[in-house]
Amino acid sequence: MSQAVEDLIWETRRLFQALAIAADEALQPLDIGASDRALIEFLARETDPISLAELARKRSVSRQHIHQSLSRLKNPRLIERIPDPNDARSILLQLTEEGRSLWKEIRKIDYIVLRRLARDVDTARAQAATKTLRGIRETLQGKKS
């Protein structure tokens, strides 16, 4: 076993926790948490309404995760639920105008945080770390041998 890989995974877990805490703190003025932010971002990246199942598949999370995130959303007016014309048992999701407006505010906060972090992170090293983490993820997902 490679100690370097184990150390990288450990630091990644710790970083994920630190990012969640930092996101919650930064988003406090908007009265949303990291979980709401993630769901809003998932939908902001879509150009058309999307089914819950397709959104979960594209974002590599369970349908249950998306459903629970929707249920816990503090402001249900951020996301529109549209009957799926191809499946009467399903719904399509998309951000409302209010949701898109909130996404713009979230991105403003993101840029502030990212600018602060970028001052202390060497671009080439960040790119190398990204490539390494992507390779590990692809290996875990069976996309690389």
User: Which CATH number is associated with domain 3-140?
Assistant: 1.10.10.10
pLDDT tens across 51-98, in order?
Answer: 998 999 998 889 899 999 999 998 999 999 999 988 888 899 999 999
Query: 102 near 40, Cβ under 8 Å?
Result: yes
- Using the predicted structure, report yes or no on whether residue 145 has a pLDDT greater than 60: no
Mean pLDDT of 96-108: 97
- Cβ-in-10-Å burial (0-12, 13-18, 19+) of 121 comes to exposed
Confidence at residue 29, expressed as pLDDT on a 0 to 100 scale = 94
Q: Where are the domains of the chain?
A: 3-140
Task: State pLDDT tens for residues 108-136.
Answer: 999 998 999 999 999 999 999 999 999 99
**Residue 96 CB burial class (10 angstroms; 0-12, 13-18, ≥19):** middle
